[in-house]
Every structure is written in C-alpha cells, then in structure tokens.
Structure 1
Amino acid sequence: MDLTRGYNLSPSVQSRLRLLDWIADNGGKTPGAIVDLGPLFDRKDQEGAMAVAGNLEALEAQGLLRLQKTLGWAGWSGDVLPPGLDLIEDVAARRGDRLRRRQAARDAFLHWLFDCTLDGNEYPDSDDFSSSKYGAYYGEPFTEQDISAASQWLRDEGYLHGTTLASGDVVNAMITTRGQKVVESERSVNAETQQPAPYSVTTVNITGSGNNVAANSSNVSQTTTVQMTEDNSRQLLGLAESLAQLTNSGLLGLTEDQSREAALVVESLRETAELEAAPGGDVRTLLDKAKEVALAGTGTAIGQTLVAAVDQVIQALGLG
C-alpha cells in the first residue's frame, strides 16, 4: 500500500486500512489472535462481499494478514501477522500525531483547491473538502478544527486568499500563484526552504579503469565499477521510492533527524541511478546506509522487510 502522504489515498487503500481497523477493534491486536471475519460480509450484496474478500486477500498477499477461508464467506477468519500489527500501530500513531496531521491537512486542502481550479471552480465551498478524496488522513476524516487551522495557515503564508470571518475561518478560498507553484512542483508547503546535501562517499581513483577506494579509509581495498544499466538503475530507483514512501508515511518510526538522514539516502540513490557508472564501493556503502536507516526507527518488522529488499539489490548488482 502506498501510504506516502496519508491523504488522497486510493479507495482500495482506504478500504484496507478500515478493514485492519475493524480487525484490530475485534480482537486482532495480538499475534496469533484469530478473528471471525464473517460479520464483515453481513448485509453485503454479491458485489460488496467480493470487494471485501478481494481487499482481505490483498492484505494477505502483502504479508499483513493470514486468512483461513471456507466455501462460504461467513466462515472466514484470520489473524494479523507481525508486519500487519506494526502497520496498525504505526497508522494509529500517525493519526494521533497532531503536528503531522495538521501539516498533512495543509497540503491536502491546497491540493483540493488546485484540483477545483483545474475543474473551473475557482471559489469552491470549503464544506465540500471533507467529502473529497483529500478529506481523510489515513482513512480517518480530517476534523473541522484540522480544516479551519489549515485554511488559516495557508492564507497567512500566502498560498490562498479568501474572505475571513469573525471566527477566523476562511471562506471563498482561492489558491494563489504561489500555491499553484507548490502543487505543480510536487513539494509540501511544510518543506524546509533549504535541504542538506545528499549523503555521499568520497572516492579517489587508484589506477586503471574502475578501481576506486573510499578516501580516508584505514583499510583500503579495490572495488569494481557498477555500470548503470537500465535494470541496475531501476533497482536503485525502486529502492529509493520504497525508502521514501516508508519514511514519509512514518511506518519506519524514524525520528526527525533519522528522517532527514533517510531523505539524504533517497536522494543519493536517485542520483546514483542517473549516472552511467559508479564505484562499487560507493554503491555498497550507500546500500548499507539504507539498511542502517531502515532499522533505526521503531518500525522494526517493516524495516526488516526493507533490509531484505536492499540485500536483493546488493546481490543483483554483484556487490554481495
């Protein structure tokens, strides 16, 4: 599931999060606890029941849930696997993080305004935000307080303008040029104005082609050069996207400093993938750093899954 932003999640992802919520609320918060899933199918027509079954099977395919199926859906049961338990806890923590929730509300409201403008509605009714695809955070609706605070902050920062009521609420909001630029550049209004330099390893050339060592190393050893073929670049870019998504969604449980470190690794992976070739030692160091970041937070089970993916990339690049 792509949980990068928390808002504007696809309907299927929101449905699966709600299913996990229901399972957790019905006794599925401990390892091995079998939960009767039959009530999920109650009063559902054929199409609705198939949708529930499909989402449950998708959760199982993602390694989050283990199903015990019968011929009739009413007899289905299952238990949540450790990665699923981590996901339930992490999503609950993210929903309860008032700072991140408020920041997400700002981006969500601005993206909604942008979409309304594209549809020819420059002054949309703010009450319509809640029922839009942007109106929920990890499947849980933004509160009126979230929305009010977001619109006021966006007004104060120059991302929108509108009529301010005596209560402070903003009505007849319209996105400004500054707001449009942020959305079009796929940046967050909460992003820091200056980003630190990407994580990198300094190398020096010894002799010949493709022989490099890490500078200032106590144990210097030669390494081969990794040619950035289409497949090798795809491996690194895929890993970068996975790390970015898990970091931004909070599923790795990283601190603010650890999240910044993860962002540097992501940027370096993307930059390395764009090269024609890169020293093998540099690439291996970068991949080891990705593993270190993955295990730095509290989302250990999900971090282990990412580490396994990194190990696969290491083997694919011949750096094992």
Structure 2
Amino acid sequence: MTGTVTSFGYSGVSLQQTLNLTSLSQKNSSLQTQASTGVISDSYAGLGTARTQALALQPAITQVTAWSSNITTAQNRLTTTQSVLSQISTIASNLNETLSTLAGSVSSSTIGTAAQQAKTALTSLGNLLNTQQGDSYIFSGLQSSKAPVNGDPGNSDLASSISEAVNQMGTDGASSVLSSTLTLAGNSSDNQPFSASLSTDPTTAAAQNLQIVTGKNETATAGIVATQGTASSDSSTGSPIRDLMRNLMVVASLGSADPGDADYTQLIQGLQDTNTAAIDGLSDMSGVLGVQQNSLTSQSAMLEQMKSALTTQLGTTKDADLAQVSVQLNDTSNQLQASYSIIADMKGMTLASYL
C-alpha cells in the first residue's frame, strides 16, 4: 500500500516537473541562441507579431542594395570613360599642334611624317573607343556587348573613301574636299568603321546611352556613345569623335600633297577650325560625364541613408536585447538547476516523506 501511494504521488508530481523542465529547457535553449546570434529568432515565425514588419523590410533592404550596386558599377564605368575620353582629347590636341605645324612653311617630308602620325593616332583612337569595363564596351551604349569600332579605323572603307577624296583636291579644290569628307564621315556604312547601331546620326546615337535603375521607377544615364552629338552643319558631322576621326583620316591621306598649293593651305585651315570645335565638343562630353557622376554620387548617398534607416528598423524587429537576454538566461538557468534538484530529491521519497 505504501509503495502504491508513493508511486502515485511521485508519478503525478514527476509528470508536472518533467513538463516544467521541458519548458525551461526550451526557453533556455532559445535564450542561448539569442545570446550567441544576437537575434530573437532565426526564422520569421519565431518573431511573433513582428514578423509582418520584418517580412516587409528585408525585401526593401535587398532592393535598395541592388540599386546601390547598380550605381557603383555605373560609377566605375564613368570613371573609366572619363579617363579614356581624356586620352582621346589628347589625340585631338596633338592633331591641333600638327595642323599648326602643317599650316606653316613645311616640306613634303614633314607632311609625310604628319600623315604617318595620323595613321598611328587612328589606330590608337580605335583601340580607345573599344575600351571595355568587364565585358561591356563603354562607348557602345545600349549595345554594350558589341564593339563600337570594327578593326583599325585607318583600314576601313571610310578611310579609303576619304583618301580618294583628298587625292582629288587638285581637281575639285579644298572646299569640295572638306565638304565631301565631312559627308562621308557623317554617313559611314555599318562597321566602316562604327558598329551598325552607332552608324547613325548623332542625335539618334545619343538616345542609345546606357540607362541604369537607381530607384523605384527611376533611371539614370551612365556614359556616352561614340558617335553621339548634335545636328550636323557645314563644318561638323555633329559628333566630336566622328569629326576627330575624319580629320585624322584627311591628314593621313596628305602624303602626296603639295604644301605650296593654295588648296593645301585652305584645307589645313578648314581642318584646324573643325578640330578646334571637336576639342570643345570632347570637353563638353567630359562635362556631361561629370554631371552624371555627381548625380549618381548624390543618389548613392541617399540610398545609403535609406538602407541604414531600413536596417535599423529591421534590427529593432529582429535583434535581441542582449542585456535583457543575459538576465533571463541567468534566471532560467537557476530555475533549471532547481528543477533538476527537486526531481533528484523526489526519486528517494516514500509515503513517509509526504506525512
């Protein structure tokens, strides 16, 4: 009888203690996880009523991070573009110096040297325009996977056509050569030397600038297109880079020109005027890139502030109060220890222990 009572009493109390012990163990484990990870729960379900806000904040942070990444990529592209454009401007400036020399009293040998330098500059210009940032051609705009220039511009059909026009100077005159070479440069066929998408008028080319997503329903222009510019005129194709390329091709074709010919002098003067305008156009393009860079820098700063605010909100929802967790963990550990002691003591109890 005593054993029966003892068994019954112990069994009932033991069951309750076991349940309490299980609950305390689970609570202790949860608190230890919070203390080690710094978050309330490793799942949204464990956040209770706060999970709705957390579920909304996390995608927002991911989206803002993606926009920031787009801007970083674009800024790197713009930095490279500015550097390359500076080198192209140097080619244009060097050509201006060459033209100043050719405008003076020169020999056929000097003209031949200038022609060879122009051919070398054409090769360099083509290589610069085909600069890549990663797998993307920085001067190709929307068609960034396609090289803007096909091969060496000095070996293109355009170069051959311009050379033929220059060789007719003695017959057609300098004015005709200046006009016809501009027309040829402004209407080059696909891949001679520019890619099909860039073998178009300057304003249409400008519309092909790369656009990046910088926010909800927000995009920004990042870069320039090789053949972009304004409407053509009697002295320009409208595209500074096209003008520079044409000028180099004309000089590269002067090997047999007579420096004492009046048409020669007029031709050089016309090239100087066009090239000076091309240098100004390249400077304007650099300014456009600078505006884009400044705009993206401001947008990036705003997105960083937004990301910081959203992260703080998410932290308020998910992060554990470590000071409070420490206190609760200590209390829970003490309760667990007490429960273990009670259960251990109960194992040795008899009916007399209840009397």
> Shorter chain as normaliser: what TM range?
under 0.3
The structure with the larger Rg is 2
Of Structure 1 and Structure 2, which has the larger fraction of its residues in strand?
A: 1
Q: Whose relative contact order is higher, 1 or 2, with alpha carbons under 8 Å and at least 6 apart?
A: 2
